[in-house]
Structures are given as structure tokens and as C-alpha cells.
Structure 1
Amino acid sequence: MRRLTRSGLAAAALALILASATSAGATDHAPRSAPGVPDDFSPAATSWTSPSQGWVLGFVPCEDGSCAEVLHTMTGGNSWAALQAPGLHPSEFGNSPQLQATQTRWVTTLVATNTEDTVISTTGGESWRPVDVPADKVGDLAATTDGIYLTAHATEGEQVVTTLWRTPNTRSAWEPVEGVAAEVPGQLGSVMSDIAVVPSGVRLVGTSAFDAPTHAWSSPDGAELEEIKAPCGDLATQFFGLADDEHQFALCSQNPGRGAMDKELFRSSDGVTFESVGTLPPRTGITSDFAVANGDTVAIGATGGDTGIVHMTFDGGQTWETPLFAADTGPVLDLSFQDQDHGVLLTGYPGLGTSVIYRTSDGGHTWEPLDL
């Protein structure tokens, strides 16, 4: 879920585009564990560990206004089961919720957040408990074989401090990751962050805020993260994506206009030095997400005019095409690939009945809606 912004116009545009239209309640609704999809379920975030196994966090109407549910599939979306409700409501500030799933041989761990409140389940969704980290806003979630990572944004006076936290993926024991911290002037709503991982660990972390320095940290060989020169300038949004340790990408977007902005793809073979590659991606759409399937296949999620847009390159950035143009939905979020052929995304505004999950089974050449 990668959301970084640079200019005031970019911050305002993304804030408007990514705003949720659902309202928050004060108390939780009655928990329920039952097969199937609840009535009026509106998907809001999704996470998949394989082409067949995935989870969807969404909201349903309840006495308190709107309450979160989490669904689980082991059949690629052909059937669903409702897990224990995580006790979350939509963000009070319209932030997009997030969901992260990870598995070991014995344990399935889920982390869900509306960015203000965060909960974790180490029982595969049978029970949930609060995550206690010093965050006024959660920026991004990511999981590896050694743990779950979370970026935390906290306000200190007129500064926003960003830190990186980790817990083992079998329990909730959060600790700060040494060496990753940034303090920038700005408002909490304009500070965003991104975590890019390979299965064995974190490789890139970035953060940014309106009219403030962009920061990035790298661990190219799996060692401790160290700050590097950020590939994107202070007036650009910054997204990271990894195919493997030798194919690390950054997407820099800037100059937002009416449903469009400049985009440029950068590539690194060492995780430290990034160089522009290929031709410029299409300007169409305000960038909202970014994902990499392999060293040649890269996807950009965007939106403009309430349309979900995916631009893709299948030759390492030399040429671009737009395989998804989903009208009357909204921003593309949770864009990810489970392998070279299978990917998933969510596009739309939860609560307005426009959100749709799309999947691809041919490496991003075509995207089909997933029935819920």
C-alpha cells in the first residue's frame, strides 16, 4: 500500500482521491464467524500469500455506522469464509485501511489497520488484539519470512517523525528497527511511506512529506538498513518495487494536474544507486500504487476521473500499455503480484459501492473482476 506525496497539489489530490466515504463508529459490532460474504460487504484492502489463498478486509453497515469484516479464501476467490471481526471502523480522517497476511508452517498472522488503530491476529483471524507502537498514523505494512514490518508516523511539535517497527511473524512483540528514522517539518496528513521486501527481508524503505526532504534506506545484501540518497526529489512521490536483489525499482511521480501527473521509472542493481530506465510511463492518472512482477514486468496503479488505471511495461520500461481502465471505481490500491503470472489489486472507494477486486493470471496483460 504505498502512498508518498511531495507538492501541495499532489498532497491535496491524493488526499481527495484516497478519501473514504464511510463514517466511523464508536463501538464494535457483535463478532461473527460464518461462511460466505456478509450482505453489503464493501472491500477496502486485500492481501494474498499465493494465487489461491487471500484475505480481504471490508466494511459492512452496523449499528455504529460501518464495521470491519475480514474474509478468507483458499480457492482463489471461488469460496469465502468470514473470520472473527477485527474491531475496526473506517478512519476518522478518510485514510485507506490496510491488511497484511503472512504464514509460517504453523501460524497465520494478520495485521489490519485503519491507519489510526491497528490490530494483529496470530491465530489466523480467530482473535485480534491491539498493536502498541508510538504512531499517530500507520504508513505502510509489509511481511517477510522473518517478520512483519510497519512504518509509524508520529507528530512531535511541528515535526513528523517516521520510524520502522518489526515483530516476529508468529507473535506480537514490536521493536524499532535500528537506523531507520526521519524527522521532517510538515503535517501528518502529507507524510507517507513505503516498504519494499523480498521473502528473506526488507530491502528498501522510503518516506516523504510535502515540501520536505525525501528519505530512503536500503539493505541490498540483507544486512542492516542504511540511509541512501533517495532516488526521487523533494517534489515527487516515491514508490519502491522489487523483483529480486538485482532488480530493484523506484517510481517517481510529480507535477500532478487534472487526473494526470509525470511518472519516471528508475532501476538499481545494488539497491543504492538508481538510474532512469526506458521511456516515460503515460501521464494519465494520479499515481496511487506500484508493483513489480519480475525484472521486465512493472505495474503502476493510478486514478483520474473516478477511474482505476493500471499502466504496465513488459520489457523493463521500454514500452508501456494500459491493460486496465476501470470506469466509475476509484484509485488502484494493494497492487501486488504473487508470482510472475498472478496478481491482484483493489480499485474504488469503499462505502460508495464502487470498490472492486481485480486479478490477473497472465502476468498483467488482462485483469478480471473477482466476485465477492
Structure 2
Amino acid sequence: MRISKLVVTALIALTTVVTGAVQASAAPAGFAPSSTSWPSVSHGWVLGWVPCGSDKCARLYQTMDGGKTWAQRVAPPIKPSEYGDPTRFTIGYDGGSTRGASTALVTNGTTAYASYDGARTWQTETFGAGGPLSVGTMKASTTDAYVLATSGGTTQLYRSPLGKRAWTKATPARKLDLTYPSGDIATRGATAVVSIGSDSTAYAVWTTKNGTSWTRREPSCFQGALTQLAVPAAGKVFALCSWAPGRGSMRKELKFSDTGAAFWTAGYPKDTGITSDFAAASAEVAAVGSTGGDEAFVQLTTDGGYTWRTTLAQPETGPVHDLAFVDAKHGALVAGYADLGTSKPFRTVDGGKTWTTFSP
């Protein structure tokens, strides 16, 4: 009996899911990337969706050679957000080595799954919070995993050492009367910085060098301005302040702090696009992701915020998210709506000056 190519592809995918074995296979036609995470220049992951009957099923792919080959790994049984939010994936390794203990996290905003064994097995995770949970930013340092979540109108940062299910409350909770977490997390090495706030309050900022001892900073942005963070190097912190969203535009101000000093204005990115993400490759190189008219934009500065230029303008996609730099040259992002099939993953090898698409 002749076996069709479609059946062979399905059998290979099934074998990979059941055993967790590494298979040199590409994503099937119709795969829509939702999230990407790169622990190193050569080691990357992409989570996305494939048609699954009348539904969509998650698929997870991993590369260990910079995207030359990809392997399907075990994906959690997560479903797309009923609110249209992107389903996000992040993974961190103890000490930064991809051979160390790891924590992988996936959320669609209302449900979260975690893996503590290299994405071989998954379990539902509530991070120790009680009641219905809304999950926001997730990041990993070289020592800890962090999650910003809201339950009962209270927003809290949760922390657990990489490779362990030992979630504790990391910073003081903020009662914001919001049903979703509003804030950001940025990491570099063992350093982490977090902001928590809302449209009607100034975003409080905390920093840590080890995950256990936290120092509260003066607010980096004025009251009501969205505060997103980046740690370009040890002791240095960028804060992107965004406010006054309009039709495809938003005011933006880049601030900078060195060795715990007060934040000062470093520059003003273009108003183009509603801010959706922010990252920094160094103290001179920072990138702002935004969207307007369903077009994805990346604005880049290479002189610490003094001048800006648009290095990505992708029409018919949507917001930029998962914007991150592994080092001064290499970075990645996802642009678009995975649930609408407009999403595309991009990588850069020149510090954000150019971006190219890739496929697992």
C-alpha cells in the first residue's frame, strides 16, 4: 500500500510529540508563529499554531545551529487566547548554559504552563497565586524565572530559581484594580528590573542583582506613561516611556540610568506606531517595536537615543513582540497576529539594522 506524503509527515510529528526526540523536520504548511525565544545565538525556539480539525493546536520547534535545522519538541496543551492576545513562550537556563537546568513558560494570558525539564513535560502553573489569574510579561535571567501576574486586582511579580518549581512573591504587590498585569520585566545576566503601574499611577521600578534582594527605584516615567525596560549591561537600565496613543501613533521618550543614578532623557523615538515592545543590545543600541494600520515597525538608535531610524516596516502583519537581543549583534522578534495568520518571525545579525524572516 502506498503511503502519502501527508501521512508520513503526520507520523513523524506524532513520534516527535510522544517521545520528545529530536527530529530534523520543518513546520508544516499553515504554521503560524506566535512567539520566539533565543537563549543564545545558535539556540532558539519558536511556538506557534497549526490547523487541527476545527481548532488550532500548538507546535513547538527548537534549533541548536542558528536556524539551519529545526526539531519539533513537545508543546503544552495550550489554546489560543479568546481575546486575541499572542500566546508567548520563554525559556531560561541556569548559568546561561543550554546544558544547565531550565524553566520554560507558556501563556495565552489566562492559562499558563511550565516545564522544568527542557520542554519534555508540561504542567499547569498558577505560580502560587489564588483565584483567577491573568499573566503578563515572562522573562528569565541566568538564575531565575520571573512572571508578572494579576489576581483579584492585585499585580505581583513571582520568582522561581531556574529548573525548580518554587515560586515565591518577589516584590511588594500593587493594588491597581486591573484585571490584567500592567508592567514589564527586563533581565541581563543575573540582573532583573521590573516595572508595575497603570494608566492612572506612576510605574514603580525595582531592581535586583541576585533575584532575592530588591531595591525600589524612583519612577523612571511620569504618571500614566507606559514604562518598558531594558538592561543593556550590568548596572545600566533603559526605560521607554510611551503615552498619548492616537491613530497609529504614540508619544515616546527614552530614559537612561547608570549605576543606580536617577533616570535622564536620552532621546525621543518617532511617534510612529503604538508601542508594543522594547529591547536594547548595548548602551548605544536600543529598539522600539510598534504597530500602526496593521504594519509592524522597528525603530533603532545606535547612538544611545540621539537619532532614530526605521529598520523594519512590515505591512499587513500587526504588533511587534518578543523583541530581544542575545548580544550586541543578534536578536529576534515576531511581528503580526498568529491567530489571523499574519505573523512572521524575524532575526537580525547586525544589531537591528536589518531584519530577515526565518522559518522553523
Shorter chain as normaliser: what TM range?
0.7 to 0.9
Is 1:264 the counterpart of 2:253 in the alignment? yes
Tell me the residue number matched to 1:184.
176
CA contact (8 A) 1:142 1:148 kept: yes
Pick which of 264-273 and 33-42 moved more.
Answer: 33-42
Is 1:142 the counterpart of 2:139 in the alignment? yes
User: In the alignment, which of 64, 71, 78 is matched to residue 74 of structure 1?
Assistant: 64
| Aligned pairs for 1:1-372 within 5 A | 31=17, 35-63=25-53, 65-104=55-94, 105-133=99-127, 134=129, 136-155=133-152, 160-177=153-170, 179-185=171-177, 187-189=178-180, 191-202=181-192, 204-219=193-208, 224-271=213-260, 273-278=262-267, 280-372=268-360
Point out 4+ residue stretches in structure 1 off by more than 6 angstroms: 220-223
Tell me the residue number matched to 2:11.
none
Residue 223 of structure 1, CA deviation: 6.4
Q: Structure 2 stretches of 5 or more lacking a match?
A: 1-13
- Secondary structure, counterpart of 1:351 in structure 2: helix
Residue 98 of structure 1, CA deviation: 1.5
TM-score, normalising length: structure 2 = 0.88
Aligned mates of 1:124, 1:75 — CA distance in 2: 17
TM-score, normalising length: structure 1 = 0.85
Residue 228 of structure 1, CA deviation: 2.5
Render the CA deviation track for 1:316-362: whole Å, top value 9, x for unaligned: 11111111111111111000001111010100000222100111101
RMSD: 2.0
Residue 213 of structure 1, CA deviation: 3.9
Percent identical across equivalent pairs? Answer: 37
CA contact (8 A) 1:219 1:271 kept: no
Aligned mates of 1:361, 1:235 — CA distance in 2: 35
- Secondary structure, counterpart of 1:216 in structure 2: strand
CA contact (8 A) 2:84 2:339 kept: no
The residue type equivalent to 1:176 in the other structure is: K
- Secondary structure, counterpart of 2:338 in structure 1: coil
Pick which of 314-323 and 206-215 moved more.
Answer: 206-215
Aligned mates of 1:79, 1:116 — CA distance in 2: 32
The residue type equivalent to 1:293 in the other structure is: A
Render the CA deviation track for 1:266-294: whole Å, top value 9, x for unaligned: 0001345211113x211111100000000
CA contact (8 A) 2:49 2:58 kept: yes
Higher relative contact order structure (alpha carbons within 8 Å, sequence separation ≥ 6): 1
- Secondary structure, counterpart of 2:328 in structure 1: coil
CA contact (8 A) 1:180 1:227 kept: no
Tell me the residue number matched to 1:25.
none
Render the CA deviation track for 1:154-176: whole Å, top value 9, x for unaligned: 12xxxx21111111211222121
